[in-house]
Homo-oligomer: A and B are copies of this chain.
Amino acid sequence: MDEGVDRISSKELSEIIGFSASQIRQDFNNFGEFGQQGYGYNVVDLHREISNIIGLNKKYHIALIGVGNFGTAVAKYSFKEMGFHIDALFDNNPEKVGQVLNGVEITDTNFLETYLSKHDIDIVAITTPSSVAQDLADRLVICGVKAIWNFAPVDLTVPDDVVVENVSLLDSLMTVSYLLNELKDATV
């Protein structure tokens, strides 16, 4: 779209993305009819459709709990242009409370419930040690939070109507070792 391309075929997309053209067509077909046989995809329409599927046509308000190394890295990340705004930061360390990070003041985690009752928060990031993550998840569920972005290496138990997305470094590292071994097998 940025390059002024009007239409693109699944074959051209395949060359850019690295998945097969047939896989791309199949994936799109799961969400409806985006293209025309022999004509390709209208790039503007496709961009809008994909944005709608992912939900990027909205603004999301995020609160983050646990301003350690991970929390700080996440808080400094720029998600804003994609519609993700970090509105609030929480930590239980008195030395951190009151400090400002990326324009957001760190609040005592004791005030989590008070804050959530007064503000519309769509997603809460948990970047705390594992030991407190489930307790925090329970508190968030009671507050009506429907999406938890979990960086703590622990499986959170939540009701079916709450979404948990885990960022697992260990899973990612195991993917590296799996791919590395596949590569070695292929070159032996």
Contact = CB atoms under 8 A, between A and B. Distances in A.
Interface of A: 53-56, 58, 60, 68-70, 72-74, 76-77, 79, 82-84, 122-123, 146-147, 149, 153, 161, 163, 165, 167, 169-170, 172-181, 183, 187
Given A53-B178, A82-B173, A123-B177, 14 more contacts: A54-B174, A54-B177, A56-B177, A58-B177, A69-B72, A74-B169, A77-B170, A79-B170, A123-B180, A146-B180, A147-B179, A147-B183, A149-B172, A165-B176
Given A73-B70, A163-B176, A179-B163, A170 B82 contact: yes
A55 B122 contact: no
A180 B163 contact: yes
Contacts of A60: 177
A162 to B, nearest CB: 8
A174 B76 contact: no
30 contacts: A54-B178, A55-B178, A55-B180, A55-B181, A58-B177, A68-B73, A69-B69, A69-B72, A69-B76, A70-B70, A73-B73, A77-B170, A79-B169, A79-B170, A82-B170, A82-B173, A84-B173, A123-B173, A123-B176, A123-B177, A123-B180, A147-B176, A147-B183, A149-B172, A161-B187, A163-B180, A165-B172, A165-B175, A165-B176, A165-B179
A133 to B, nearest CB: 15
Copies, count = 2
A182 to B, nearest CB: 8
